[in-house]
Amino acid sequence: ARPRVGYFYSGKKPGQDISETMNNMKVGDFQSIPVVVREDVSVYDAISQMFLDDVGTLFVVDKKSFLTGVLSRKDLLRTSLGNQDLSTIPVHIIMTRMPNVTFCFKNEPLIQAAHRLINQQIDALPVVIEQPEGLKVIGRLTKTNITRAFLSLSESHEL
């Protein structure tokens, strides 16, 4: 559609259009630092790592640091109900495994990634770079990041 440019009676203060502002927000502007663990660490150690780094999702990588899976608090909590010794179960047994991992890219619009978080009912997306051998994890995008983005919309447009 051709943009409508000109004088309009808005009855409101002049402000940037919401869609345009939102389309300019990219994943890379809001992403956090990823926390990764190796496939062979125990569920016990993964939970400890989660508390140490205060994150809700861990990304699992192989020896070459390529993404192989994702671990959420929900996955770890489910396992802890099982009355098993958490220090003997490796995370690759319980993780969500590639190719079932939903991810995103740094240059993607934030809206698109937010849709994926809602539609897939997940807490965090790994931000990745595609390489011939697999995916390298360079970031973490969570609903906390989206909440910050939501707040930034109101902050940058306050009277």
Give whichever of 48 and 65 is closer to its own copies, judged by the CB atom.
48
Does 33 engage in binding with its own copies (CB under 8 A)?
A: no
Sequence-ordered list of residues with C-beta below 8 angstroms from that of 29, at least 6 positions apart, any chain = 110, 149
**Least distance (Å) between residue 48 CB and its own copies:** 7
88 sits near its own copies (criterion: CB under 8 A) = no
CA 112 from centre of chain: 12
Binder to its own copies among 52, 93, 129, 153 (CB under 8 A)? 153
Instruction: For residue 42, give every residue at least 6 positions away whose Cβ sits within 8 Å of its Cβ, in sequence order, or none.
Output: 86, 87, 88, 89, 90, 91
How is residue 119 written in tokens? Answer: 């539609």
Asked whether 93 and 49 are in contact (CB, 8 A), the reply is no
- Of 62-70, 98-106, 127-135, 142-150, the segment contacting its own copies by CB under 8 A is 142-150
Query: x/- binding map, residues 58-77, to its own copies, per CB under 8 A?
Result: ---------------xx-xx
C-beta separation of 122 from 102 below 8 A: yes
Which of 80, 84, 100, 131 lies at the binding interface for its own copies (CB under 8 A)? 80
d(CA 139, CA 130): 13
Point out which residues bind its own copies (CB under 8 A): 1, 3-23, 44, 47-48, 50-51, 56, 73-74, 76-78, 80-81, 86, 111, 114-115, 117-118, 142-144, 146-151, 153-154, 157-159
